[in-house]
């Protein structure tokens, strides 16, 4: 352990493992440590015995629940502002998985359906034209108005003024609400609420006062993800649970030379007299480094609490009622329907995704905590589940960094909004990816931009190799663009 590394990563949560993988691919010497004896941190998936021990302090679950090893229950308490329990099928995280080759370590399955809660009933979010015509969410005339708006969003192209209908969202800085109400659309308040929360996946209403372009991009991403696998929803989910994601990126890091050490207690970050990080000490040994990447628990004096997540984990013997017997589904409960400040979410997966024995279902109810009583606060979502075999309640604090990472070279991952939990997926990972970029110097951002958007086949090459390849792409504009972004003057990491 007494060596020098470019970066030391503390914690094996999803964000930390993504960064570890990307930095190792880029040729940096990475040491990845975790105080736990398993991968994933708070993003891990537990078997039934581990779940029982986590919530009840013993390892003797009832026999009628089935074999422990057949369970893979996600512990990820936080969700970025978008949906991380399920992943957008065409989102940034999926693109990263594909372009890093991490998909060879994972298998995914489409989620059966997406639903929305309205006036104490669950309704299917339409996934086809036929479903849209039959849906009771809107009246006939409102469907015609909504259809015109959807066509406008679908056809909108930032670089094509003809698609803007004299409303360039690059310049339009008024609230999104004006788009709905302007000119020919004139959508009703209930329709606005449905589109904003069930399609654009905003978890509260502040988006109505924000610039409109991001809102349109989110709607387009939803539509693109829905069309990618032509299923009943825009989401996918990994077999064996979300805990497979950090493990897959850990494998990527190891393939490219990353060093992993689990079960390392008391990882203490060391600083010099100027307050800059110089290494990490554990069990009397110190590994030197230039930079540290970690989750908030490793540098508790450099973060602040910004909220908490209330969450219920349920084991059931049936699917969520009124979801067409879906083996996997999401139900969105918009804030206005519950009189809350933010949305509540219900997620369900089952033996179809290899997370429970045959005939068993795992459901999660989560929301940004607004009270100190999670059982009462989550009751509207839990009531939708019907009878449950077992239920566990918990709350998790959320933190954001307060340090200046340019001053101390410590990059602490923020724990984003807690209800939509992990689908985005980067979108869901877009939130993660923004933070990933903060960890990289500007020249590494240049290397990874074409890598993420899939423009460049040169994503793993050194600058010397890139320059050697440059003469080959002079007449291929797309390759030249990727190469030009990559070959920037590099500074030391």
Q: Give the pairing type, strands 390-401 and 303-316.
A: antiparallel
Q: Indicate whether 460 belongs to any domain.
A: no
Is 170 within the bounds of a domain?
yes
Last residue of a domain, one of 359, 380, 401: 401
- Please check whether residue 299 is in contact with residue 271, taking contact to mean a CB–CB distance below 8 angstroms: no
Per DSSP, 258 falls in state -
Question: Which of 367-376, 378-387, 426-435 is modeled with the greatest confidence?
Answer: 378-387
How confident is the model at residue 421, as a pLDDT? 37
| 216, 232, 248 - which closes a domain | 232
User: pTM (2 decimals)?
Assistant: 0.81
Which of 58-62, 68-72, 165-169 is the least confident region? 165-169
- Write the CB contacts of 291 (distance below 8 Å, at least 6 apart in sequence): 6, 7, 8, 277, 409, 410, 411, 439, 493
CATH assignment at residue 142: 1.10.405.10
Question: Could you tell me the pLDDT band of residue 85, with boundaries at 50, 70 and 90?
Answer: low
Measured CA to CA, the distance from residue 268 to residue 278 in angstroms comes to: 11
Looking at per-residue pLDDT, the higher value among 170 and 325 belongs to 325
Predicted local distance difference test score (pLDDT) of residue 420: 42
Task: Render pLDDT for 218-253 as a digit per residue (tens, 0 to 9).
Answer: 889 999 898 888 778 999 999 999 889 899 999 999
Q: What pLDDT digit, counting tens, does each position of 113-155 carry?
A: 999 999 999 999 998 777 888 889 988 888 888 888 888 888 8
Asked if residue 67 and residue 87 are part of one domain, the reply reads yes
Structure tokens at 340: 């809350």
The answer to whether position 325 is within a domain reads: yes
Burial class (CB in 10 A: 0-12, 13-18, 19+), 38: middle
Predicted confidence at residue 153, as pLDDT, reads 86
How much is the pLDDT for 197? 92
C-alpha span between 343 and 202 (Å, rounded)? 8
Say what percent of the chain tops pLDDT 70. Answer: 79
Residue 214 predicted with pLDDT over 60: yes
pLDDT at residue 270 above 60?
yes
Predicted pLDDT of residue 304: 94
Q: Are 203 and 417 in contact (CB under 8 A)?
A: yes
Domain count, the chain: 2
> What are the tens digits of pLDDT across the range 332-342?
999 999 999 99
Burial of 209 (0-12, 13-18, 19+ CB in 10 A): exposed
pLDDT band at 366 (very low <50, low <70, confident <90, very high): very high
Q: What are phi and psi of 402, to 5 degrees?
A: -120, -5
Same domain, 261 and 379: yes
Kindly tell me the burial class for residue 64, based on how many C-beta atoms sit within 10 Å of its own C-beta (0-12, 13-18, 19 or more). Answer: exposed
Place of tokens 């015609």: 144
Q: What is the mean pLDDT of residues 58-75?
A: 90
Rg of the chain over Cα atoms, rounded to whole angstroms, equals 23
**8-21 pLDDT, tens digit each:** 999 998 888 988 98
For range 299-318, the mean pLDDT:
93
Q: Residues 281, 375: one domain?
A: yes
Q: What percent of the chain has pLDDT over 90?
A: 43
pLDDT in tens, 24-40: 988 899 999 999 888 88
Q: What is the pLDDT of residue 454?
A: 40
Q: Are residues 205 and 244 in the same domain?
A: no
Helices of type H across 454-488: 463-469, 477-486
Tens-digit pLDDT profile for residues 397-441: 889 899 998 899 999 987 654 444 333 333 333 433 344 444 444
Name the residue range of residue 140's domain. Answer: 126-232
Q: Is the Cβ–Cβ distance between 205 and 342 less than 8 Å?
A: no
317 token code pair: 């013997």
Which pLDDT does position 58 carry in this prediction?
A: 81
Is 22 in the same domain as 169? no
The CATH number of the domain where 373 resides is what? 3.30.519.10
**Residues 102, 162 within the same domain:** no
Same structural domain for residues 386 and 353?
yes
> CB under 8 Å to 364, separation ≥6 — which residues?
74, 85, 311, 312, 313, 314, 345, 346, 347, 348, 421
Statement to judge: residues 356 and 209 lie in one domain: no
Query: What tens digit of pLDDT does each residue of 152-197 get?
Result: 888 888 888 888 877 777 777 666 666 666 556 788 888 889 999 9
CA distance 44 to 46: 7
Residue 322: the pLDDT is 94
Judge whether 344 lies within some domain: yes
Distance CA 275, CA 287 (A): 17
In the beta sheet, which residues pair with residue 310?
Answer: 367, 395
Whether residues 296 and 327 fall in one domain: yes
The C-alpha angle 231, 235, 237, rounded to 5 degrees, equals 110
Of 386, 401, 416, which marks where a domain is finished?
401
382, 241: one domain: yes
- Overall average pLDDT of the 365-387 stretch: 94
Q: What's the mean per-residue pLDDT of the chain?
A: 80
């Amino acid at each position: 352990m007494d060596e020098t590394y470019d970066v030391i990563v503390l914690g094996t949560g999803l964000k930390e493992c993504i960064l570890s993988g990307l930095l190792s691919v880029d040729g940096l010497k990475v040491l990845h440590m975790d105080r736990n004896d398993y991968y994933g941190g708070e993003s891990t998936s537990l078997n039934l015995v581990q779940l029982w021990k986590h919530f009840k302090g013993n390892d003797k679950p009832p026999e009628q629940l089935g074999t422990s090893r057949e369970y893979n229950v996600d512990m990820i308490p936080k969700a970025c502002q978008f949906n991380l329990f399920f992943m957008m099928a065409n989102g940034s995280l999926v693109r990263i998985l594909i372009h890093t080759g991490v998909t060879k370590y994972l298998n995914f399955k489409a989620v059966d359906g997406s639903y929305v809660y309205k006036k104490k009933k669950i309704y299917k979010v339409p996934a086809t034209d036929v479903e849209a015509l039959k849906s009771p969410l809107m009246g006939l005339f409102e469907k015609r108005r909504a259809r015109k708006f959807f066509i406008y969003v679908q056809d909108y192209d930032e670089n094509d003024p003809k698609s803007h209908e004299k409303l360039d969202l690059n310049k339009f800085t008024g609230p999104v609400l004006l788009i709905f109400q302007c000119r020919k659309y004139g959508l009703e308040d209930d329709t606005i609420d449905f589109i904003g929360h069930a399609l654009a996946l905003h978890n509260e209403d502040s988006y109505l006062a924000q610039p409109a372009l991001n809102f349109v991009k989110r709607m387009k991403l939803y539509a693109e993800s829905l069309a990618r696998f032509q299923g009943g929803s825009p989401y996918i989910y990994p077999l064996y649970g979300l805990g497979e994601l950090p493990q897959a990126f850990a494998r990527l890091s190891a393939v490219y030379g990353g060093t992993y050490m689990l079960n390392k207690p008391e990882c203490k970050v060391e600083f010099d007299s100027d307050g800059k990080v110089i290494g990490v000490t554990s069990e009397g040994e110190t590994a030197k480094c230039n930079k540290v990447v970690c989750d908030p628990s490793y540098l508790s004096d450099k973060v602040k609490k910004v909220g908490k997540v209330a969450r219920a984990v349920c084991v059931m013997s049936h699917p969520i009622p009124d979801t067409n017997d879906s083996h996997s589904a999401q139900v969105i409960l918009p804030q206005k329907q519950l009189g809350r400040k933010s949305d509540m979410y219900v997620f369900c997966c089952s033996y179809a995704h290899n997370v429970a024995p045959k005939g068993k279902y795992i459901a999660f109810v989560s929301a940004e905590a607004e009270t100190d009583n999670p059982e009462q606060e989550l009751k509207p979502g839990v009531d939708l589940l019907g009878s449950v075999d077992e239920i566990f309640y918990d709350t998790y604090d959320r933190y954001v960094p307060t340090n200046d990472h340019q001053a101390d070279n410590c990059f602490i991952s923020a724990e984003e909004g807690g209800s939509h939990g992990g689908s985005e997926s980067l979108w869901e990972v877009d939130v993660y990816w923004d933070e990933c970029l903060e960890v990289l110097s500007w020249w590494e951002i240049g290397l990874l931009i074409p890598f993420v958007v899939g423009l460049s086949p040169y994503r793993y090459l050194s600058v010397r190799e890139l320059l050697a390849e440059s003469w080959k792409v002079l007449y291929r504009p797309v390759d030249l663009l990727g190469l030009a972004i990559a070959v920037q003057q590099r500074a030391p990491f």
